[in-house]
Amino acid sequence: MPLPPSTIDRTRLHQRRIAFEGFKRADGLWDIEGQLVDTKDNPFPLHTGTRQPGEPIHDIRVRLTIDTKMNVLDIVACAKSTPFTGTCEGILPDYRKVVGLNLFKGFVKAVKEIFRGTKGCTHLSELLMAMPTAAFQTFAGEVKHEDRHDGDQMPAHLDGCHALGVTSDVVRRYYPRWYRDHHRG
């Protein structure tokens, strides 16, 4: 269902587009790519020059290579456009620190900790923090549940949202092993 139309006249000033794509590779691994693009609808003055309407202020891209267990095996990050060309890009190699992390085992918390404040790029970190759900959606219908998780470990996506709470009817019907009757405590 779309948002209802605004009842007040307004003028758009800014647009942020975030997109993810998931790829199954011929070598059995997976690539998850993300892109964040910020544009303005009016000329936007920066210290490094004025960006024209529609010209990206940020165009940040990242590719994670993962295995079926959601382990990060490689990362490539680039910045096609930044507000401080030549400076913003300097932090990108530091993002190699995510290699070895697991997207479903503390990944978002680790990204926040490793790249907090001046230790990272806000926009690249934002993309990375959405990677677990993008990877999960890529795996849907392609990777068996057993291949993603240890057999005795509850699937990471359970208890991560309202519909998939372990006391929900959805979990009772589709994941009965992990269902917990909320009336029994």
Confidence (pTM): 0.84
pLDDT digits 0-9 by tens, 12-35: 999 999 999 999 999 999 999 999
**98-116: average pLDDT:** 96
CA distance 65 to 161: 26
Residues 62 and 75 sit within 8 Å (Cβ to Cβ): yes
pLDDT digits 0-9 by tens, 56-79: 999 999 999 999 999 999 999 999
CA distance 166 to 140: 20
Please give the domain boundaries of the chain with CATH numbers for all domains.
Answer: 14-143 (3.30.390), 153-185 (no CATH)
Backbone angles phi, psi at 149, to 5 degrees: -135, 160
